[in-house]
Amino acid sequence: MQTAAPFDRALLAARRRRALARHPDGAGFLRDAVADDLADRLSAVKRDFSRALDLGSGGRLAAVLRARGVPEVVRADVLAAEPGGGEPDVVLDEEALPFAAASFDLVVATLTLQAVNDLPGALIQIRRALKPDGLFLAALLGGDTLTELRTALIAAEAELTGGAAPRVAPFAGLQDLAGLLQRAGFALPVADVDRLTVRYDGLFSLARDLREAGATSPLADRPRTPLRRAVLLRAAEIYAERFADPDGRVRATLDVVSLSGWAPHESQPKPLKPGSATHSLADALKGGG
């Protein structure tokens, strides 16, 4: 039986488009920080790239790649343009990449993969678009992102109505994402997480930030009626009771998961075959005793 798609992709694009038109700097601090981190990770890779794909950074990574001297950079996005970011070279859906196999030797994806409905399929397409020994670098929200908001909303709605509907989108865990890299066929996969804590005056300040960034819930099965004001007020109280610092400001967790993997190539290191070791673990332990 086919599982229903969890995310309303059309709604997600519409909210982002509207948010960028009204608040072009919405969530800019996060996108800039993630782009800077990916640029730092890329600087540690001592090799040249000839053709790169910047997937969803709004042009931030494209500028970095061009400054690094990459001869050809293709900027792709789900939106036709961002205010101040110019036109992308390709408008696409991350779930249906239009590129031929072995088109790029580098693909970077910034905060664009956490809301695809078929992440395993998207990763397989990215790996297919890479040349052998090509590099994939990505950053996406995962883990315990917005766990405080999710907890407060569920607790308040359950308390006042006797039930709770999903209001915050789920995020994949670190181990799940690492496993998906392997499943997609990437060699030498690596996944790690950086936890950012952003502080707000309260739940409503956080909600405003999410709205201005076009990052409110894109769940396909979301309730079609807004939360009652009483529930929102109670959620704000619970948020402050459970997640406030001594100065009264509340915390919001953002787990940024960084992924890297290589398209397989015969030159890459390979694990030893079972039984090929020349020393046993028992001998090593004896030597250390």
Where in the chain are the domains? Answer: 9-265
List all residues 6 or more positions away from 53 whose beta carbon is below 8 Å from its beta carbon. 73, 74, 76, 99, 103, 104, 106, 107, 108, 129
The pTM assigned to this predicted structure is 0.86
Query: Encoding tokens for residue 227?
Result: 């939360």
Q: How many CB atoms lie within 10 A of CB 163?
A: 8
The DSSP call for residue 274 is: T
CA-CA distance, 45 to 172, in Å (whole number)? 27
Q: List, for residues 252-288, the tens digit of each pLDDT value.
A: 999 999 999 999 988 877 654 555 445 544 454 454 4
pLDDT of residue 20: 74
pLDDT at 135 over 50: yes
- More confidently predicted of 60 and 250: 250
Ramachandran quadrant class, 65 (left: phi over 0; alpha: psi -120 to 50; beta: rest): alpha
Question: Which residue in 91, 87, 85 sits closest to 24, CA to CA?
Answer: 85
CA-CA distance, 185 to 262, in Å (whole number)? 9
Select from 1.20.140.10, 3.40.50.150, 3.40.50.720, 3.40.50.300 the CATH code of 9-265.
3.40.50.150
Query: What mean pLDDT value characterizes the chain?
Result: 87
CA-based radius of gyration for the chain:
22
Mean pLDDT, residues 49-65 taken together: 90
